[in-house]
Amino acid sequence: MQTHLLVIDDDPHIRSVLRVALHQAGHAVDEAGDGAEGLAKARSGRYDLIVLDIGLPELDGLALCRALRQSDDTPILFLTARQDEIDRVLGFELGGDDYVTKPFSPRELVARIGAILKRARPAPQPALKRGVLRLDPARHLCEVSGVPLTLTAREMEILAHLMARPDHVAARPALVDAVYGGGQVNDRTLDSHLRNLRAKLAAAGCADAIETVHGVGIRMGPCAG
C-alpha cells in the first residue's frame, strides 16, 4: 500500500525537491506552505508521516507539533535550519520522531523517512502486562488500571522494548539502538522521550513504571499503581 506523506515548508524549492525525491521513492505527497495550512491538513488524519519545517510563518513547526500531539500520533520528521541542540531536543519533547538539518541530502531524508515508517509498522507483538500497566503494541493501545493513555509512536516503542523483558536492565546505548536504530540520536534524545513517557505514566497513576539503575541502564518498575 502506498504511503501518504505531508510536507509542510514555506520554501517552494525545498517542497519541490522533496516532492520529486519522495515520489521517486514511491510515496504520495501533499504540501502546505505555512503552519496554519499545514495544521489543517495534518488534522485530516490521512497521512502516514509529516515532514515539518520548524521555521514556518503563521504557526511555527514546534507550535504545530504541540497542537497536533494533543490528539494525533502521526510520525513527524522535523526540518530545521537551526544548529542549536536545544531546538532539536525541544522538538523531541513535543513528540517529534526524528530531525534533519538544512541543507540536507534528499537521499538521507528519504532513508530516514523509511526507517520511521518501518518502526511505526512493526511486526505484530503480543499484548504486554506489568502490574496495572497494559500495552498492546499491535493496536497502539496503552492502559493504566483500565484507563487508556495516549502515547506517541516513539514512546510506545520504548515502553514495549522495556516491557518485553521487564526484569532486564537495558543499557542506554542498547536502548538507543533498539528504539532509534542508531544514527545521530544521542542520550539527550532518549532522555527527552523518557521524561515525557514517565510524566504521562505518573499522571495516569503509575509513577513507578520506569526505573533508572544508575551506571547501568533502564528497566521496568513494579507498576503497582
How is residue 170 written as a grid cell?
Answer: 537495558
pLDDT, tens digit (0-9, with 9 covering 90-100), for 93-114: 778 888 888 888 999 999 999 9
**Which pTM value belongs to this model?**
0.57
* pLDDT tier at 218, thresholds 50, 70, 90: very high
Separation of alpha carbons 204 and 7, rounded Å: 34
CATH code of 128-220, in short, is 1.10.10.10
Quick one: residue 188, left, alpha or beta (phi over 0 = left, psi -120 to 50 = alpha)? alpha
Peptide bond into 57 cis (omega under 30): no
Domain 4-120 has CATH 3.40.1390.20: no
Question: What 8-state DSSP symbol labels residue 48?
Answer: S
Residue 122's pLDDT is 57
pLDDT, tens digit (0-9, with 9 covering 90-100), for 185-200: 667 888 899 999 999 9
* Between 91 and 29, the higher pLDDT residue: 29
- Name the residue ranges covered by the structural domains of the chain: 4-120, 128-220
